[in-house]
Amino acid sequence: MSDRKLAVVTGASSGIGYELARFAVEDHYDLLICADEPEIEHAAEKLRRLGGTVQTIQVDLATREGTDAFWAAIGDQHIDMFCANAGRALGTAFHEQEWESIRRLIMLNMVQTTTLLHRVGLRMQAQGRGRILVTGSIGGFVAGPYDAVYNATKAFLDSLCYALQDEWKDGPVTLTCLMPGPTDTPIFTRPENLLADSPIAKSDNLGDVTQTARAGYDAMMAGKKGVVPGVMNKLIAMFAGVVPQSILAEMHRRGAKPE
Protein backbone atom coordinates (compact mmCIF):
# COMPACT_ATOMS: atom_id res chain seq x y z
CA MET A 1 0.00 0.00 0.00
CA SER A 2 3.02 2.28 -0.17
CA ASP A 3 1.82 3.80 -3.44
CA ARG A 4 -1.48 4.92 -1.88
CA LYS A 5 -2.13 8.63 -2.01
CA LEU A 6 -3.96 10.67 0.62
CA ALA A 7 -6.57 13.33 -0.08
CA VAL A 8 -7.67 15.58 2.78
CA VAL A 9 -11.05 17.32 2.40
CA THR A 10 -12.62 19.72 4.90
CA GLY A 11 -16.35 20.30 5.04
CA ALA A 12 -16.97 16.94 3.38
CA SER A 13 -20.25 15.89 5.01
CA SER A 14 -22.32 17.38 2.18
CA GLY A 15 -22.32 19.75 -0.76
CA ILE A 16 -19.20 20.50 -2.79
CA GLY A 17 -16.91 18.95 -0.17
CA TYR A 18 -18.64 15.57 -0.33
CA GLU A 19 -18.49 15.57 -4.13
CA LEU A 20 -14.78 16.41 -4.07
CA ALA A 21 -14.18 13.53 -1.68
CA ARG A 22 -16.15 11.21 -3.97
CA PHE A 23 -14.05 12.16 -7.01
CA ALA A 24 -10.89 11.55 -5.00
CA VAL A 25 -12.10 8.05 -4.07
CA GLU A 26 -12.88 7.36 -7.72
CA ASP A 27 -9.29 8.40 -8.47
CA HIS A 28 -8.10 5.85 -5.86
CA TYR A 29 -7.05 8.30 -3.19
CA ASP A 30 -7.37 7.37 0.46
CA LEU A 31 -9.36 9.98 2.32
CA LEU A 32 -9.22 11.97 5.50
CA ILE A 33 -12.41 14.00 5.74
CA CYS A 34 -13.82 16.27 8.38
CA ALA A 35 -16.91 18.28 9.22
CA ASP A 36 -18.42 19.80 12.34
CA GLU A 37 -21.41 17.47 12.40
CA PRO A 38 -22.03 13.74 12.94
CA GLU A 39 -23.17 13.44 9.30
CA ILE A 40 -19.49 13.12 8.42
CA GLU A 41 -19.82 9.45 9.44
CA HIS A 42 -22.71 8.90 7.01
CA ALA A 43 -20.64 10.52 4.29
CA ALA A 44 -17.74 8.22 5.15
CA GLU A 45 -20.01 5.16 4.95
CA LYS A 46 -21.16 6.13 1.46
CA LEU A 47 -17.57 6.74 0.36
CA ARG A 48 -16.44 3.39 1.76
CA ARG A 49 -19.18 1.67 -0.25
CA LEU A 50 -17.53 3.21 -3.31
CA GLY A 51 -14.36 1.42 -2.31
CA GLY A 52 -12.59 4.18 -0.44
CA THR A 53 -10.38 3.92 2.62
CA VAL A 54 -11.73 6.75 4.72
CA GLN A 55 -10.57 8.32 7.97
CA THR A 56 -12.96 10.77 9.59
CA ILE A 57 -12.77 13.37 12.29
CA GLN A 58 -15.59 15.52 13.58
CA VAL A 59 -14.13 18.88 14.54
CA ASP A 60 -15.23 22.49 14.66
CA LEU A 61 -12.73 24.28 12.43
CA ALA A 62 -14.15 27.61 13.60
CA THR A 63 -12.04 27.12 16.73
CA ARG A 64 -8.27 27.00 17.03
CA GLU A 65 -8.61 23.82 19.10
CA GLY A 66 -10.60 22.20 16.29
CA THR A 67 -8.03 23.22 13.71
CA ASP A 68 -5.23 21.80 15.87
CA ALA A 69 -7.18 18.57 16.47
CA PHE A 70 -7.66 18.21 12.72
CA TRP A 71 -3.96 18.79 12.10
CA ALA A 72 -3.16 16.22 14.79
CA ALA A 73 -5.43 13.72 13.03
CA ILE A 74 -3.44 14.21 9.82
CA GLY A 75 -0.31 13.54 11.88
CA ASP A 76 2.78 12.99 9.79
CA GLN A 77 0.94 11.45 6.83
CA HIS A 78 2.03 12.44 3.33
CA ILE A 79 -0.64 14.80 1.93
CA ASP A 80 -1.08 14.44 -1.81
CA MET A 81 -4.24 16.48 -2.16
CA PHE A 82 -5.85 19.08 0.09
CA CYS A 83 -9.31 20.50 -0.55
CA ALA A 84 -9.79 23.51 1.74
CA ASN A 85 -13.52 23.59 1.37
CA ALA A 86 -15.07 24.07 4.82
CA GLY A 87 -17.04 27.29 5.03
CA ARG A 88 -20.33 28.80 6.06
CA ALA A 89 -22.48 31.74 5.05
CA LEU A 90 -24.41 34.20 7.22
CA GLY A 91 -27.48 35.97 5.92
CA THR A 92 -29.51 38.95 7.19
CA ALA A 93 -28.25 42.50 7.70
CA PHE A 94 -24.84 42.97 9.31
CA HIS A 95 -26.18 44.83 12.34
CA GLU A 96 -28.85 42.18 12.93
CA GLN A 97 -26.30 39.39 13.10
CA GLU A 98 -24.88 38.28 16.44
CA TRP A 99 -21.23 39.16 16.86
CA GLU A 100 -20.44 35.59 17.91
CA SER A 101 -21.87 34.27 14.63
CA ILE A 102 -19.80 36.78 12.65
CA ARG A 103 -16.67 35.92 14.61
CA ARG A 104 -17.16 32.20 14.01
CA LEU A 105 -17.70 32.82 10.29
CA ILE A 106 -14.40 34.73 10.09
CA MET A 107 -12.60 32.04 12.08
CA LEU A 108 -13.94 29.25 9.84
CA ASN A 109 -13.76 30.83 6.39
CA MET A 110 -10.55 32.81 6.86
CA VAL A 111 -8.42 32.07 9.90
CA GLN A 112 -8.74 28.29 9.75
CA THR A 113 -8.27 28.17 5.99
CA THR A 114 -5.20 30.42 6.15
CA THR A 115 -3.70 28.39 8.99
CA LEU A 116 -4.20 25.07 7.21
CA LEU A 117 -2.93 26.46 3.89
CA HIS A 118 0.21 27.50 5.75
CA ARG A 119 0.70 24.11 7.41
CA VAL A 120 -0.21 22.06 4.36
CA GLY A 121 1.77 24.38 2.08
CA LEU A 122 4.91 23.92 4.18
CA ARG A 123 4.45 20.16 4.24
CA MET A 124 3.82 19.85 0.51
CA GLN A 125 6.82 22.04 -0.31
CA ALA A 126 8.91 19.70 1.87
CA GLN A 127 7.35 16.63 0.22
CA GLY A 128 8.22 18.07 -3.17
CA ARG A 129 4.69 17.78 -4.52
CA GLY A 130 1.04 18.32 -3.79
CA ARG A 131 -2.24 19.70 -5.10
CA ILE A 132 -4.45 22.16 -3.27
CA LEU A 133 -7.98 23.27 -4.11
CA VAL A 134 -9.53 26.17 -2.21
CA THR A 135 -13.27 26.75 -2.36
CA GLY A 136 -13.52 30.48 -2.90
CA SER A 137 -16.57 32.04 -4.54
CA ILE A 138 -17.65 34.47 -7.21
CA GLY A 139 -19.17 36.15 -4.17
CA GLY A 140 -15.63 37.36 -3.57
CA PHE A 141 -15.94 39.69 -6.58
CA VAL A 142 -19.20 41.25 -5.47
CA ALA A 143 -20.11 43.30 -2.41
CA GLY A 144 -22.70 41.16 -0.66
CA PRO A 145 -25.43 43.03 1.21
CA TYR A 146 -27.36 40.64 3.49
CA ASP A 147 -24.50 38.15 3.39
CA ALA A 148 -21.86 40.85 3.73
CA VAL A 149 -19.24 39.12 5.84
CA TYR A 150 -19.47 35.91 3.81
CA ASN A 151 -18.74 37.62 0.50
CA ALA A 152 -15.89 39.54 2.12
CA THR A 153 -14.39 36.32 3.48
CA LYS A 154 -14.52 34.88 -0.04
CA ALA A 155 -12.84 38.01 -1.45
CA PHE A 156 -10.09 37.26 1.05
CA LEU A 157 -9.75 33.66 -0.12
CA ASP A 158 -9.84 34.52 -3.83
CA SER A 159 -7.15 37.18 -3.33
CA LEU A 160 -5.01 34.94 -1.13
CA CYS A 161 -5.13 32.11 -3.69
CA TYR A 162 -3.96 34.26 -6.59
CA ALA A 163 -1.15 35.71 -4.49
CA LEU A 164 0.05 32.28 -3.32
CA GLN A 165 -0.08 30.88 -6.84
CA ASP A 166 2.35 33.59 -7.83
CA GLU A 167 4.60 32.97 -4.82
CA TRP A 168 4.63 29.24 -5.52
CA LYS A 169 4.80 29.39 -9.31
CA ASP A 170 8.28 27.91 -9.57
CA GLY A 171 7.64 25.27 -6.90
CA PRO A 172 6.22 21.75 -6.83
CA VAL A 173 2.84 22.60 -5.31
CA THR A 174 -0.22 23.67 -7.31
CA LEU A 175 -3.01 25.74 -5.88
CA THR A 176 -6.37 26.11 -7.60
CA CYS A 177 -9.21 28.40 -6.62
CA LEU A 178 -12.72 27.12 -7.25
CA MET A 179 -15.08 30.10 -7.51
CA PRO A 180 -18.61 28.78 -7.74
CA GLY A 181 -21.70 30.85 -8.18
CA PRO A 182 -24.76 30.05 -6.08
CA THR A 183 -24.83 26.25 -5.94
CA ASP A 184 -27.49 23.83 -4.81
CA THR A 185 -25.97 22.81 -1.46
CA PRO A 186 -27.10 23.00 2.17
CA ILE A 187 -25.42 26.42 2.43
CA PHE A 188 -28.81 28.02 1.76
CA THR A 189 -30.86 25.75 3.99
CA ARG A 190 -28.80 25.36 7.15
CA PRO A 191 -30.82 27.32 9.75
CA GLU A 192 -27.72 28.86 11.34
CA ASN A 193 -26.69 30.35 7.99
CA LEU A 194 -29.81 32.59 8.09
CA LEU A 195 -30.33 32.49 4.33
CA ALA A 196 -33.43 30.29 4.13
CA ASP A 197 -35.72 33.33 3.67
CA SER A 198 -33.69 34.86 0.86
CA PRO A 199 -34.86 34.75 -2.78
CA ILE A 200 -31.62 33.10 -3.84
CA ALA A 201 -32.32 30.14 -1.54
CA LYS A 202 -35.61 29.56 -3.38
CA SER A 203 -34.15 30.03 -6.84
CA ASP A 204 -34.55 27.30 -9.45
CA ASN A 205 -31.31 28.35 -11.06
CA LEU A 206 -28.79 27.19 -8.48
CA GLY A 207 -25.74 25.50 -9.92
CA ASP A 208 -25.55 21.72 -9.89
CA VAL A 209 -23.30 20.63 -7.05
CA THR A 210 -21.75 17.71 -8.90
CA GLN A 211 -20.89 19.79 -11.96
CA THR A 212 -19.51 22.56 -9.77
CA ALA A 213 -17.28 20.23 -7.79
CA ARG A 214 -16.25 18.44 -10.98
CA ALA A 215 -15.08 21.70 -12.54
CA GLY A 216 -13.00 22.44 -9.43
CA TYR A 217 -11.57 18.95 -9.18
CA ASP A 218 -10.59 18.81 -12.84
CA ALA A 219 -9.02 22.27 -12.65
CA MET A 220 -6.98 21.14 -9.62
CA MET A 221 -5.81 17.98 -11.37
CA ALA A 222 -4.82 20.10 -14.39
CA GLY A 223 -2.94 22.51 -12.12
CA LYS A 224 -5.05 25.47 -13.23
CA LYS A 225 -5.10 28.68 -11.21
CA GLY A 226 -8.81 29.15 -10.95
CA VAL A 227 -12.13 28.06 -12.31
CA VAL A 228 -15.56 29.68 -12.36
CA PRO A 229 -18.09 26.97 -13.23
CA GLY A 230 -21.12 27.84 -15.35
CA VAL A 231 -21.67 30.32 -18.17
CA MET A 232 -23.70 32.81 -16.13
CA ASN A 233 -21.12 32.77 -13.36
CA LYS A 234 -18.32 33.37 -15.86
CA LEU A 235 -20.24 36.40 -17.10
CA ILE A 236 -20.64 37.73 -13.56
CA ALA A 237 -16.94 37.19 -12.84
CA MET A 238 -16.09 39.06 -16.01
CA PHE A 239 -18.47 41.94 -15.34
CA ALA A 240 -17.31 42.24 -11.75
CA GLY A 241 -14.25 44.07 -13.04
CA VAL A 242 -16.24 46.44 -15.22
CA VAL A 243 -19.59 47.09 -13.58
CA PRO A 244 -19.37 49.41 -10.56
CA GLN A 245 -19.51 47.63 -7.20
CA SER A 246 -22.54 49.74 -6.22
CA ILE A 247 -24.56 48.09 -9.00
CA LEU A 248 -23.24 44.63 -8.16
CA ALA A 249 -24.14 45.24 -4.52
CA GLU A 250 -27.68 46.18 -5.54
CA MET A 251 -27.97 42.97 -7.57
CA HIS A 252 -26.75 40.99 -4.58
CA ARG A 253 -29.19 42.77 -2.29
CA ARG A 254 -32.09 41.56 -4.44
CA GLY A 255 -30.98 37.97 -4.10
CA ALA A 256 -29.99 37.89 -0.47
CA LYS A 257 -32.32 40.23 1.44
CA PRO A 258 -34.77 38.18 3.51
CA GLU A 259 -38.35 38.37 2.25
Partner 1 sequence: MTGAKLAVITGASSGIGLELARCAVADGCEIIICAEGSDIHDVGEQLAGSGSTVKAVQADLGTPEGVGTLFNAIGGRRVDYMMANAGRGRGDAFLDQSEADFDEVLRVNVIGTTDLLHRTVRLMRTQGSGRILITGSLAGWIPGSYHAVYNATKAYVDLLSLAIRNELKDTDISVTCLMPGATDTMFFDRAEMLDTPVGNDPDKDDPAMVAKEGYAAMLEGASGVTTGFMNKVQSLVSGLIPDSVLAAMHRKMAKPDGSAENV
Q: Which residues bind partner 1 (CB under 8 A)?
A: 93-95, 97, 99, 102-103, 106, 110-111, 114-115, 117-118, 121-122, 125, 140, 142-149, 151-153, 155-167, 225-226, 240-242, 245-246, 249-250, 252-253
Using the minimum distance from each CB to partner 1, give the nearer residue, 40 or 219: 219
Min dist. Cβ of residue 49 to partner 1 (A): 38
User: CB-wise, 44 or 120, nearer to partner 1?
Assistant: 120
CB of 195 to partner 1, least distance (A): 15
Least distance in Å: CB of 198 to partner 1? Answer: 13
From the list 153, 124, 160, the residue with the least C-alpha distance to 139 is 153
Cα 118 to Cα 109, 134, 161, distances in angstroms: 14, 13, 12
Chain-centroid distance, C-alpha 52: 22
Nearer to partner 1, 22 or 252 (CB): 252
Q: How many CB atoms lie within 10 A of CB 19?
A: 23
- Give 29 or 146: the residue with its C-beta nearer to partner 1: 146
H or E element in which residue 6 lies:
strand 5-10
Shortest distance in whole angstroms from residue 211 CB to partner 1 = 23
φ and ψ of 227, to 5 deg? -145, 135
Instruction: Give the shortest CB-228-to-partner 1 separation in angstroms.
Output: 12
- Which C-beta is closer to partner 1: that of 52 or that of 216? 216
For residue 40, the minimal CB distance to partner 1 (Å) is 26
Alpha-carbon distance 159 to 210, whole Å? 25
Q: Name the helix (H) or strand (E) containing 131.
A: strand 130-135
Is-contact 51 25, C-beta < 8 A? yes
Strands 5-10 and 54-58 turn out to be: unpaired
Closer of 145 and 216 to partner 1 (Cβ): 145
